Amino acid sequence: MDKEKKTIKRREFFKGSIAATAALTIFGASTFVLDRKAAEAMPREDFLRPPGAIDEENFLYGCIKCGLCVQICPVQAISLAGAGEGLGFGTPYIEPRLQPCDFSCDALQCVEVCPTAVLDFKPFKKVGANAVEKAAAQPGVDLSQVNPFEVQKVAMKEAVQMGKAHVNKNTCLAHQEEGFRGTPRGSDFKGVHRSPGKNEISASPLRDRTFDREICDLCITECPIGEKAIVQKLSRSGKLVPHVMDGCTGCGVCQMVCPTQQPSIIVEPF
């Protein structure tokens, strides 16, 4: 290699080094700014955590942001918080208006795969075992006809406590004595759920369903928990309206299917 070529390559090397150093300097500065802003940001109190989440303070420090719960959810209800959420960055949460937890996995899979137990499966395991024992203890029960999994899955999903739904009486169609006809969220909506009244094996798009109700009751008929969570009852003024029960798990299906522009039923996290 002659002297001129060596000089050119040396010059290119130094130019590349300067550019790389400048890029790293800019990147480092921007990272510092992002980190500082993230550190100053507090996690949102309205975050709806997945089933089995322990108390928020311990959840934030115990979650390793692995994303296994996100990957295993069959309806993709779980997302990871962005960089602007401070200590909550990378932690899982559910946005029920977009995609709730509809329990169509039938096994609380997100809880089962959590490696740190910030989504704690132990209470659900205990509830499921107790339910099987109770079913087996019923007089005249033929144990060969008892499916332990069916008993367990019902008991476990009913034990979930993510939050509780609250009805806005001022906008709820039932409270206005109005019905609903059509597709609740429009033809472009991507949310899915397994309708409890159709014996579906898996979740299907909400946009593929149409309803025709004289008095709107979608939050009731589409609830995966049923009467333990929400019922239709007569109000003092004689209207048939939704009434949230103590068995509400906060899954958020009601919030997704509510047909008003702003949801008239909202889940508030515990």
Structure tokens at 266: 């909202």
Find out whether 94 and 71 touch, Cβ atoms under 8 Å.
no
Give the pLDDT mean for 88-100. 96
Q: What is the pTM of this model?
A: 0.83
Tell me what pLDDT residue 229 has: 98
Structure tokens at 191: 């949310």
Residue 38 pLDDT exceeds 70: no
Model confidence pLDDT, tens digit, residues 54-80: 999 899 999 999 999 999 999 999 999
Euclidean distance between CA atoms 153 and 149, whole angstroms = 6
Strands 180-182 and 163-167: unpaired
Amino acid at 124: F
- Residue for token digits 């029920």? 96
Euclidean distance between CA atoms 169 and 223, whole angstroms = 19
Banded pLDDT at 2 (limits 50, 70, 90)? low
Least confident of 5-9, 85-89, 214-218, 229-233: 5-9
Residue 26 pLDDT exceeds 90: no
Residue 9 pLDDT exceeds 70: no
Euclidean distance between CA atoms 195 and 257, whole angstroms = 11
Query: Half-sphere exposure (CA, 13 Å, Cβ side) for 251?
Result: 27
Banded pLDDT at 46 (limits 50, 70, 90)? confident
